[in-house]
């Protein structure tokens, strides 16, 4: 099945063409095209994504990305159209939905609406290793979604069956990276910038004298809380002179704090749910330090569990992951009439 997918939930206008086969038991995917048009430069001066600017840029970029996807004389002939319906910024989501509706009407092809978070949850399947290994052997698994808007732990019994077991009660991990980057005057998006500074600090053996409290580390739940960390960082940077050295200390201590919490909670979920694998997705799962810390911890743990991650460039928003989730919906014949497709800004992962 050839899938055309569209993603406009935040600040990337993304489209992809993916060939999918094998069903839910042994899915295989071939990437035909993958285009991500980023609006980062436009939102950077504001330190975050501005919804109406995002809408304007998506509207401008969608036809351009589509033309790059199907250069003339090729005419679009997908078997399925998949589009993100939420969660995300509603004005931004609507641009993709309207584009998809239009295409579906013109081409008379079936349409599915996709939960962006499901896309992140499945994006590990683009890792060659996980396509080769027998999928049956990785379930039950724990899924860790860490993005700009969400931090969620799920138990997965199969690709089609999963249940949320914990989530952040306030800020998401990626949001915390972005806020700390703003406090350190590094720019947007903060994750890669804070992480690069933290790596320098570790290399140069620079360490601060202000360990941040690890939020909700021992509370017994699988929930997270990262908003206090931002306050802790603000306390340090407002009380001291902001030198290059202080920035490195803060970045390192902050990243280690996030990693400690994510690793500890994930590890406990692995043990309590007695699972065979941990799959990661979302922008923060591109973070090398956090990936390495989790892989190390899983190796050392009594319960052995495989660690499956998307390629770093596919951890952040893209349309390939929307095609993947769209394929699974199509297998369930979960099609939607164009006029019934709606943006759902607060869509949850069940
Ligand atoms: O999944 P994503 O692309 O979009 C959402 O669905 O939110 O995630 C974006 C988030 C941003 O907060 C960004 O700062 C963070 O992921 N991020 C990272 C890294 N790359 C992106 N955070 C930590 N380390 C990274 N290398
Ligand atoms: Zn995302």
Q: Mind listing the pLDDT tens digit for each residue in 215-246? A: 999 999 999 999 999 999 999 999 999 999 99
**Residue boundaries of the structural domains of the chain:** 2-121+314-340, 137-309
Quick: pLDDT tens for 187-215.
988 999 999 999 999 999 999 999 999 99
Q: What is the pLDDT of residue 338?
A: 95
| Mean pLDDT calculated for residue range 163-169 | 98
| Mean pLDDT calculated for residue range 105-122 | 97
| Mean pLDDT calculated for residue range 176-195 | 95
CB 122 within 8 A of CB 135: no
- Start-to-end CA distance of the chain, whole Å, equals 27
Whether the pLDDT of residue 132 is over 80: the answer is: no
Determine the CATH number of domain 2-121+314-340: 3.30.420.40
Atom of ligand 1 nearest to the CA of 146: 1
How does residue 290 score in pLDDT terms, banded at 50, 70 and 90?
very high
How does residue 280 score in pLDDT terms, banded at 50, 70 and 90?
very high
∠ Cα 84 86 92 (to 5°): 75
Among 256, 316, 346, 347, residue to substitute to test ligand 1 (most atoms within 8 Å of Cβ)? 316
Tell me how far CA of residue 27 lies from CA of 24, 321, 333, in angstroms.
Answer: 6, 13, 16
Q: How many angstroms separate the alpha carbon of residue 53 from the centre of ligand 1? A: 19
Whether the pLDDT of residue 162 is over 60: the answer is: yes
CB 287 less than 6 A from any atom of ligand 1: yes
Tell me how far CA of residue 153 lies from CA of 28, 217, 265, in angstroms.
Answer: 25, 14, 9
CB 249 less than 6 A from any atom of ligand 1: no
Report the chain's mean pLDDT, rounded to a whole number: 95
| Mean pLDDT calculated for residue range 286-300 | 96
CB 174 less than 6 A from any atom of ligand 1: yes
Tokens representing 347 are 């869509």
Q: How many angstroms separate the alpha carbon of residue 282 from the centre of ligand 2? A: 6
How does residue 130 score in pLDDT terms, banded at 50, 70 and 90?
low
CATH 3.30.1600.10 corresponds to the domain 137-309: no
Sheet with 111-115, side-by-side order of all strands: 28-38, 12-21, 2-7, 80-86, 111-115
- Whole-model pTM: value is 0.96
> What whole-number percentage of the chain has pLDDT above 90?
89
Size (the chain), residues? 350
| Mean pLDDT calculated for residue range 40-69 | 94
Comparing 2-121+314-340 with 137-309, is the CATH topology the same?
yes
Q: Which residues, listed in sequence order, are joined to residue 292 by a DSSP beta bridge?
A: none
């Amino acid at each position: 099945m050839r899938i055309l997918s569209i993603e406009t939930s935040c600040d990337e206008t993304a489209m992809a063409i993916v060939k999918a086969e094998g069903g839910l038991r042994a899915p295989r995917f071939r990437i035909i095209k993958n285009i991500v048009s980023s609006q980062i430069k436009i939102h950077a001066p504001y330190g975050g994504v501005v919804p109406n600017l995002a809408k304007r840029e998506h509207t401008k970029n969608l036809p351009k990305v589509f033309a790059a996807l199907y250069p003339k004389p090729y005419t679009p002939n997908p078997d399925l159209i998949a589009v993100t319906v939420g969660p995300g910024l509603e004005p931004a989501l609507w641009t993709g939905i309207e584009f998809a509706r239009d295409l579906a009407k013109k081409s008379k092809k079936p349409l599915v609406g996709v939960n962006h978070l499901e896309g992140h949850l499945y994006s590990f399947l683009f890792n060659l290793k996980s396509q080769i290994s027998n999928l049956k052997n990785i379930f039950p698994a724990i899924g860790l979604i860490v993005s700009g808007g969400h931090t969620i732990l799920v138990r997965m019994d199969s690709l089609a069956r999963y249940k949320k077991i914990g989530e952040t009660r306030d800020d998401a991990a990626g949001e915390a990276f972005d806020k700390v980057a703003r406090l350190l005057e590094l720019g947007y998006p903060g994750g890669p910038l804070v992480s690069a500074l933290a790596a320098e600090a570790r290399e140069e053996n620079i360490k601060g004298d202000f360990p941040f409290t690890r939020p909700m580390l021992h509370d017994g739940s699988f929930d997270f809380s990262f908003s206090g960390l931002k306050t802790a960082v603000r306390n340090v940077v407002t009380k001291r002179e902001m030198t290059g050295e202080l920035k490195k200390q803060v970045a390192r201590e902050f990243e280690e704090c996030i990693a400690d919490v994510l690793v500890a909670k994930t590890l406990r979920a692995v043990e309590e749910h007695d699972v065979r694998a941990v799959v990661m997705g979302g922008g923060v799962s591109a973070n090398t330090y956090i990936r390495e810390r989790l892989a190390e911890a899983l190796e050392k743990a009594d319960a052995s569990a495989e660690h499956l991650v998307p390629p770093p460039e596919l951890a952040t928003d893209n349309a390939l992951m929307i095609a993947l989730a769209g394929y699974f919906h199509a297998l369930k014949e979960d099609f939607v009439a164009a006029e019934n497709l709606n943006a759902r800004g607060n869509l949850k992962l069940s």
